[in-house]
Chain A
Amino acid sequence: MTTGNQPILSVRNLTTCFRTDRGVVTAIDDVNFDLRPGETLGIVGESGCGKTVTSKSIMRLLPERTSFIKPGSRILFRDGDRETNIADADPATMRRIRGAKIAMIFQEPMTSLNPVFTIGWQIDEALKYHTDLDRRARRARAIEMLKLVEIPNPERRFHEYPHQLSGGMRQRVMIAIALCCEPAILIADEPTTALDVTIQAQILQLMENLKRKLGTAIMLITHNLGVVAQVCDRVLVMYAGRVIESAPVRDLFHSPRHPYTKALLESIPKTGKKEHGKRLPTIEGIVPSLFDLPPGCRFRERCAYAQPRCGKEEPALVPCGDAREVRCHFPLQSPASLTVGASA
Chain B
Amino acid sequence: MRRLLAAFALACLCLSCSQAEKPKQQVTVYMYSEYIDPDLPKEFEKQTGIAVRLDVYENTEEMTAKLQHAGGVSQYDVVVVSDHQVPVLAKLGLLQPLDAAKLPNAKNVAEQFKSPPYDREGKFSQPYQWGTMGLIYRKDKVQATEFSWALLLDPEKQPGPFVLIDSMRDMMAVAFKTLGVSVNSRKPEDLKAASELILKAKRSAKCLGFEGGVGGKNKVADATAAAAIVYSGDAIKACEEDGHLAYVIPKEGSIIWVDAMTIPAKAPNAEAAHKFINFILDAQVGARLSNFNRYATPNAGSLALIRKEDRDNPAIYPSPDTLKTLEYLEDLGEATKLYDEVWTTIKSR
Q: Is A bound to B? A: no
| Residues of A in contact with B (beta carbons under 8 Å apart) | none
B interface, CB within 8 angstroms of A: none
